[in-house]
Structure formats: structure tokens, C-alpha cells
Amino acid sequence: MFINIRRDLHQIPELGFQEWKTQRYILDYLARLPQERLQMKTWRTGIFVRVLGMAPKKTIGYRADMDGLPIDEQTDVPFRSTHEGRMHACGHDMHMAIALGVLTHVVHHPIRDDMLFIFQPAEEGPGGALPMLESDEMKQWMPDMVIALHIAPEYPVGTIATKEGLLFANTSELFIDLIGKGGHAAFPHETKDMVVAASALIMQLQTIVSRNVNPLDSAVITIGKLTSGTVQNVIAERARLEGTIRTLSPEAMEKVKGRIEAIVRGIEVAYDCEAHIDYGSMYYQVYNDEALTNEFMQFVEQKTDVHLVRCQEAMTGEDFGYMLARIPGFMFWLGVQSPFGLHHAKLNPNEEAIGVAIELLTRYIAWKGNHKVEEEE
């Protein structure tokens, strides 16, 4: 059933804060469930679903992201995207199907505590977690802990991976616009060539990690797109660099941005041009609560057949970090065994992982929301 739900959702990927069809699909599904213990609120294109417990003492939160990516799908599956130029290439269709599976189980098999399911838009950008966290709707239903997962193509089905502390990096988009003076290629002395300026800037940006970041820390600066010029015999008046910054500490992020701004100021002087920096969407690090994560890992090892990998931190970015900065909780990787990685146009996760995740989470939540409460009393 939940594999079919994943396939339905896979066909209608939508970009951040445009997930209206996705929201409608989820609401229609929820309307078919018993309503006695369900409470729902919408927030923009997102949804809050509260499942009332039998004798609640706390609220367990579970978050699933909803948006797709601006990618042309290149799989040959019969349920491929019907939205041209859009694809669920990061597994958010899997995330939603798993969340609905867990929610359905909790509705039919009540636990003691309340649960709050958070269907969050715009994870890929411009970032839905922080404004959703600050919404009146979530403030009224703020959970005491929160959980999320992310598919991992590099791990086999039946495996999860996580660790206490830092799991995902601090990330920031990076957009730099350079404005000079265009002109005929035969008269370069009368122009301010932004292809040359952009080329110099890219090379200088690569020195930040090697010469300004502590070697015992980690950072990445990637310029993934450079746009400049119109035709081969006209000197470019403008150039635009688009990239990403990733660091393992907030301090390193501040340091990297400071150096970017200093280098860009130098480019303005050296190439007699105007420059503008935009950091776009910025995501806080995913930092797993040590006690809750260790408890979860022990549960997986002792009470399930799922294989647990104690992984290293990754330079991946996730706006779930904003929730973990305010609410104790954790995120883990879910193995889906695919030769193609996240954001790849041919990514086709193994759907057997959906059942693995639903069974693991329902067992953990039942333990956490029932027996664990009794143990603490």
C-alpha cells in the first residue's frame, strides 16, 4: 500500500512552497482514516497532524519533507514524474510514504503519548523548517522530541546509519554577481571583462579552505554554475557565480563567509567592477541529541533485526537542523541501495526500504510512547 502511495507522490513532484497537489493528496488520504483521535492543521503547503494518545505525558514529533527538485527525470519506471522538469530525486516521496505508514499504524494501534506528524514543505529551498517551527500552529503543538530520516543510496536495504552529535553540516547557498562593462572583443581596453574577473574569483575562492580554515576543521566551497557572456566576440559585462558552502561548525561558516566577502571586495578593486553577494538559503547543522540518539541506537541493536552503522558526519545539508536546535531529537540515514546518488536524475531507491522503515519506527515509537514511559515512572 505505502509503496503505491510513494509511486503516486513520485509522479507529482513540486518545488518548495508549491506543493499544493502533494498537500491535497496527503489530506485526502488522511480523510479516509478514523478521525476520532486525529487533529489537523495546514500551514502554507505543509500539514500538521496530531494523533492523540491514550494518556499522554509528552508529544513525540515526526517530520517528513515534501518537495521535489528542478531535475528532468531519467529513469524508466512506469510511475516517473508527470511534471516536466521536476523530480523527487532526493527521496522525499519515500519520506512521506513512510510517515503516512507510521501515522496509520499509530491511529489503529494507539500509544500512550501524543504524536505530531509534520509534513514540511521547501526543504530543498528556500527552507521550510525554520518558518514552520516559528509558526503559531507548531507553537501550539510543540513536540517534546522530534525524529526524521533521510534515504541513503549508498547503504543496503535493511541498514540504517546515524551517530550522536553532528550528523550533517552547516550549509549556505552562494550567489555572486559581477558587473563590469561590455564591448567589442577587438577593443578589450575599453571594457571591464567579467569573464576574466569571474575566473580570477573562482580560483581565489578555492584558497579559502586550504589557507583560511583550520586543517582540523572541515569546509567545502563549490561553484557549480558560472553564467556570463552572450556571443564569442563580445566581452561580457556581467557574470554570475552560483555555488554552495558547507562547514562542520558554525564558526567555520562565519570564517568562510568573511573571507569570501574580503576576496570579492578585492576583485571589485582589481577588476574595477561592482559585486553583489547573496547567501540564499542557509541551513543549520543537524546535531543529534546524544542521549536520545544513543537510546535509539541501543534499541535498534537490541530489539530489531535492522543493521545499524555508526557513521561519520557528512557535508550534506538539511534544514531539519533548525528543529533539532530547539527540540531534542535525531535524524538517521535509511539504506535504499541505489547506484545513483541523491539529486541524480536516475535515482531509483529500492522500495523495500519503506516497509523496513515503517516497521522500525512503529516499534520504536510504541516502545518510546508506552513501555519506556512506564520504565521511567
Q: What is the dihedral of CA 177, 178, 181, 183, to 10 degrees?
A: -80
The pLDDT tens digits for 174-189 are 999 999 999 999 999 9
Q: Residue 174: what residue type?
A: L
The mean per-residue pLDDT over the stretch 344-366 comes to 98
Identify whether the C-beta of residue 143 lies closer than 8 Å to the C-beta of residue 59: yes
pLDDT(375) > 80: no
pLDDT band at 374 (very low <50, low <70, confident <90, very high): very low
Question: Range(s) for CATH 3.40.630.10 in the chain?
Answer: 1-166+285-369
The pLDDT tens digits for 112-122 are 999 999 999 99
User: Is residue 124 flagged as an active site residue?
Assistant: yes
- Nearest Cα neighbor of 119 from 49, 224, 187 is 49
Identify whether the C-beta of residue 318 lies closer than 8 Å to the C-beta of residue 283: yes
Identify whether the C-beta of residue 238 lies closer than 8 Å to the C-beta of residue 228: yes
Measured between alpha carbons, how far is 355 from 363 in angstroms, rounded to an integer? 12
* Architecture of the domain whose range is 1-166+285-369: 3-Layer(aba) Sandwich (3.40)
> What local confidence, expressed as pLDDT, does residue 369 receive?
86
> What local confidence, expressed as pLDDT, does residue 371 receive?
62
pTM of the model: 0.91
For the chain, the average pLDDT equals 96
User: Is residue 65 flagged as an active site residue?
Assistant: yes
Q: What is the dihedral of CA 78, 79, 82, 87, to 10 degrees?
A: -120
- Nearest Cα neighbor of 73 from 88, 62, 58, 61 is 88
The pLDDT tens digits for 312-330 are 999 999 999 999 999 999 9
With H, G, I as helix, E, B as strand and everything else as coil, classify residue 66. Answer: coil
Identify whether the C-beta of residue 285 lies closer than 8 Å to the C-beta of residue 166: yes
The mean per-residue pLDDT over the stretch 292-296 comes to 98
Q: Residue 130: what residue type?
A: L
Measured between alpha carbons, how far is 329 from 358 in angstroms, rounded to an integer? 18
Whether 164 has a binding-site annotation, put simply, is: no
**If 0-12 CB within 10 Å is exposed, 13-18 middle and 19+ buried, where does residue 84 land?**
exposed
Whether 344 has a binding-site annotation, put simply, is: no
Task: List the catalytic residue out of 65, 123, 177, 193.
Answer: 65
Which range, of 124-128, 193-197, 265-269, 270-274, averages the lowest pLDDT?
124-128
Identify whether the C-beta of residue 319 lies closer than 8 Å to the C-beta of residue 129: yes
> What local confidence, expressed as pLDDT, does residue 372 receive?
52
Whether 92 has a binding-site annotation, put simply, is: yes
The pLDDT tens digits for 203-231 are 999 999 999 999 888 999 999 999 999 99
Per the rule left: phi > 0, alpha: psi between -120 and 50, beta: everything else, 127 is left
Q: Residue 81: what residue type?
A: S
Whether 10 has a binding-site annotation, put simply, is: no
Question: Range(s) for CATH 3.30.70.360 in the chain?
Answer: 170-282
Whether 343 has a binding-site annotation, put simply, is: yes
As a whole-number percent, the residues of the chain with pLDDT over 70 amount to 98
pLDDT(373) > 90: no
What residues pair up with 48 in beta bridges, in sequence order?
41, 118
The distance of Cα 18 from the centroid of its chain, to the nearest Å, equals 16
CATH 3.30.1600.10 fits 170-282, yes or no: no
- Nearest Cα neighbor of 332 from 172, 155, 173 is 155
As a whole-number percent, the residues of the chain with pLDDT over 90 amount to 95
Q: Which residue has the cell 508529544?
A: 59
Task: List the catalytic residue out of 14, 67, 73, 124.
Answer: 124
Measured between alpha carbons, how far is 130 from 321 in angstroms, rounded to an integer? 9
